[in-house]
Amino acid sequence: MATFLDRYLAGEHEQVWAELVEMGSDVRHPLILSEATDVARETMQRAQSDILTLVPRLRALGYRFGSFSQGQFTPTRPYLPPSQRSLAKLRRLSQLVGPLPLSLQAWYETVGRVHLVGQAPWAETAVLSDALVVDGVDSVLYFVQEWLEEWGDLPPEAQEEPCLAEFAPDEYHKEDISGGPPYAITLPNTSADARVEHEWHDTTFVAYLRECFACGGFPGLARLPGGLPAEVRQLALGLQPL
């Protein structure tokens, strides 16, 4: 009988993830967890490969990676892989708030941090590009610790705010424009994947990543009346499907 990973490798990407998500916390059953973890790791290995393809393609176009703050542009590294320090912080995060969804756990074990915000060489558009960003686990841990200081000693019914893994600014803050709350995942979470809070696709983390890579790292540009600019379509060619 084909395993979930066998089916995923055969091309049933969305179907396999849909089935794993439908299981809810049952995906942690000992007979399923290993298979589900294998799928999550394979998915994030593909995500890492796509990032390592996109970064040099963007540099070749003249894209400048960086962040915007108070009108100032500061160059930044677009990608940082996991380190022993970040993996230790990931373990600390789980100790403090319980399990992460398998998808987010595998991301931080395999991929690390990505920040594709920057100055683009293509023409300015009428929509925000919403460049792919997943902050490092150290940032997530910092905000979780802040939440615990305020709400951690209270019973769940008295906690006025959920504990969130805030992993990216929203599309406005990425462009140094006042906007909404960060993209986040509620913790703890025992499922295979989880809904991304405050993100306009209203979907799960894996599906969000799928949208990002389908748009060359800039999912906001898919909202343009004419579709993705030609340069961005070229960026997405040949990326590994998630």
The confidence score (pLDDT) of residue 155 equals 75
* Count of alpha carbons within 13 angstroms of residue 233, beta-carbon side: 6
The confidence score (pLDDT) of residue 127 equals 92
The confidence score (pLDDT) of residue 34 equals 96
Higher pLDDT, 151 or 180: 180
Q: Residue 193: which pLDDT band, with cuts at 50, 70 and 90?
A: very high
Question: Tens of pLDDT along 23-72?
Answer: 999 999 999 999 999 999 999 999 999 999 999 999 999 999 998 888 78
Q: Residue 180: which pLDDT band, with cuts at 50, 70 and 90?
A: very high
The confidence score (pLDDT) of residue 83 equals 97
By the 8 A CB rule, do 20 and 210 touch?
A: no
The confidence score (pLDDT) of residue 154 equals 80
Q: How far apart are CA 140 and CA 85, in angstroms?
A: 14
Question: Tens of pLDDT along 131-162?
Answer: 999 999 999 999 999 999 988 778 777 778 89
The answer to whether the Cα torsion of 30, 20, 87, 182 is positive or negative is: negative
Give yes or no for residue 167 having a pLDDT over 80: yes
CB-based contacts of 58, cutoff 8 Å, min separation 6: 65, 78, 116, 118, 217, 235
Question: Tens of pLDDT along 82-128?
Answer: 999 999 999 999 999 999 999 999 999 999 999 999 999 887 888 99
The confidence score (pLDDT) of residue 160 equals 84
Q: Residue 183: which pLDDT band, with cuts at 50, 70 and 90?
A: very high
Q: How do 113-115 and 133-134 pair as beta strands?
A: antiparallel
By the 8 A CB rule, do 176 and 71 touch?
A: yes
Give yes or no for residue 226 having a pLDDT over 90: no
**Token couple for 125:** 């558009």
For residue 165, give the amino acid letter. A
By the 8 A CB rule, do 52 and 79 touch?
A: yes
The confidence score (pLDDT) of residue 190 equals 97
Entry pTM: 0.95
Domain spans in the chain, listed from the N-terminal domain onward: 4-236
Burial class (CB in 10 A: 0-12, 13-18, 19+), 32: middle
